[in-house]
Chain A
Amino acid sequence: IAGITQAPTSQILAAGRRMTLRCTQDMRHNAMYWYRQDLGLGLRLIHYSNTAGTTGKGEVPDGYSVSRANTDDFPLTLASAVPSQTSVYFCASSAGENTGELFFGEGSRLTVL
Chain B
Amino acid sequence: QVQLVQSGAEVKKPGASVKVSCKASGYTFTGYYMHWVRQAPGQGLEWMGWINPNSGGTNYAQKFQGRVTMTRDTSISTAYMELSRLRSDDTAVYYCARARIEYSSSGLVDYWGQGTLVTVSS
A binds B: no
**Interface of A toward B, CB cutoff 8 Å:** none
Binding site for A on B (CB under 8 A): none
